[in-house]
Structure 1
Amino acid sequence: MRTIPGICVLLTAAICGLVGGCNEPEKPSGANQITVNPGASPSVNGSNEDPSVALDKSPMDMSYYPVEYTKEKMIGRSSEPLVARVIYSRPKKDNRVIFGDVLKYGAPWRLGANEATEIEFFSNVSINNQAISKGRYVIYCLPYPDKWQIRLNTDLYTWGLKIDSAKDAYRFDVAVKKAPVTFERFTMEFEKAPKGMELHIAWDTLYASVPILY
């Protein structure tokens, strides 16, 4: 399993090939439409324009724990039950100062872009001595210079810019650390830990690790 430094090494090549944001402007209607058959003639599509211009610049991604669960399941070799999954979008740094500028300290951060980021636990877990019931939650954060307050919220299937804090189910603080490399793309990834697992959250020059016991 990979540590944050390990993740950084694996991501460096990809990061170098990338030249964005958590609170990016809302896209106009139709901005997420894609062309089903980009090779079709203009008479079918009605345009010669490159269909990729309509693709979202903050692509959606998904992380599992166990980390290789889906691949192991595909070949019939999974030995551990599925514990958690996070679904999130990956904005770019794009030459911006992220923390304290794009993301204001003490203000809600959706941990991604577009729709609210969601985490699902397939069994009961514990985070910072808090018992977390199995189920699906919106996960978001209030960043501060020395810590991030992570929140799990029950207001599912919503846009990420306005999360109803009255529906927060759990709140806990985690330490923020300096990353060994700059993360161009916002990243969330699970990793096995000596006890349980960790959810690493990284962007720009900072990261935090959420300890999860299961």
Structure 2
Amino acid sequence: MKNIFIVVFALFCFSAKAQQAATAEIKFPVADPSPADIIYFPLNAPKAKAGELIKPVIKIIYSRPQKKGRDIFGVLEQYGNVWRFGANESTEVRFFKKVKIGGKKIKAGTYSLFAIPNKDTWTIIVNSETDKWGAFTYNQSKDIVRVNVPVKTLTKPIEYFSLTFTTLNEGANLVIGWDKTQVELPINF
């Protein structure tokens, strides 16, 4: 009996020590100041209930930097330079079916989004390379399409870089807003 007690006690102590060692070594990263977000078209696609025929056409995964009192376009993000279209990893867009952007047919698949902001127009870029950090290794030869879109100046600034969709007769507009800037990219399907 005494031996059983010693064995059980030893196993308990060993187990507790091993558990402490395992949890003490793990260091989780702090929360990112530019949180990741996901947007779908149709907007309610991920919330579809069983039996509803709502299927996603587009899914965008992006990080949302904040204004934090800074001037964004033309200052933080210089005019005429390729920008990662958000923060952190390059923004990723998935088309669940064939789409048309700027008159160019794009097959279903996953791509990255970049932009070249300017005062009056932006160039929106769909690129075939994914899983890159920022625009540091952006490769123009991998561009699928580039589309120039006009800039709309907002009266009230938007704190977080934001994306949403509005419905078009034959597709959707990707609406991009941050600071006092808004642009729209028509996507047909």
Same fold (TM over 0.5): yes
Provide the C-alpha distance between the structure 1 equivalents of 2:140 and 2:64, rounded to a whole number of angstroms: 23
Report the TM-score, using the length of structure 1 for normalisation. Answer: 0.73
Per-residue CA distance 1:158-213 (angstroms, 9 max, x = gap) = 11131111211111111110124311000011222233211111100011111111
1:143 to 2:108 alignment? no
Q: CA deviation at 1:116?
A: 0.7
Determine the structure 1 residue equivalent to 2:41: 65
Determine the structure 1 residue equivalent to 2:184: 209
Determine the structure 1 residue equivalent to 2:157: 182
Aligned length: 170
SS of structure 2 residue aligned to 1:70: helix
Counterpart of 2:37, as a letter, is D
Determine the structure 2 residue equivalent to 1:200: 175
Determine the structure 2 residue equivalent to 1:92: 66
Provide the C-alpha distance between the structure 1 equivalents of 2:184 and 2:52, rounded to a whole number of angstroms: 25
**Equivalent residue in structure 2 for 1:54, among 11, 30, 38:** 30
Provide the C-alpha distance between the structure 1 equivalents of 2:36 and 2:143, rounded to a whole number of angstroms: 24
Matches within 5 A, 1:56-135: 56-72=32-48, 75-135=49-109
- Relative contact order: is structure 1 or structure 2 higher (C-alpha 8 Å, sep ≥ 6)? 1
Contact 1:69 1:78 (C-alpha < 8 Å) held by counterparts: no
SS of structure 2 residue aligned to 1:166: helix
Provide the C-alpha distance between the structure 2 equivalents of 1:169 and 1:126, rounded to a whole number of angstroms: 11
Counterpart of 1:62, as a letter, is I
Provide the C-alpha distance between the structure 2 equivalents of 1:181 and 1:122, rounded to a whole number of angstroms: 34
Determine the structure 1 residue equivalent to 2:11: none
Structure (1/2) with the larger strand percentage: 2
SS of structure 2 residue aligned to 1:54: coil
Please list every run of 5 or more consecutive structure 2 residues that lacks an aligned counterpart in the other structure: 1-19
**Equivalent residue in structure 1 for 2:127, among 132, 153, 158:** 153
Provide the C-alpha distance between the structure 1 equivalents of 2:155 and 2:101, rounded to a whole number of angstroms: 25
Contact 1:187 1:201 (C-alpha < 8 Å) held by counterparts: yes
* Percent of residue pairs bearing the same amino acid type: 35
**Most deviating of 84-93 and 170-179:** 170-179
Report the TM-score, using the length of structure 2 for normalisation. Answer: 0.82
Provide the C-alpha distance between the structure 2 equivalents of 1:78 and 1:186, rounded to a whole number of angstroms: 31
Please list every run of 5 or more consecutive structure 1 residues that lacks an aligned counterpart in the other structure: 1-40
SS of structure 2 residue aligned to 1:148: strand
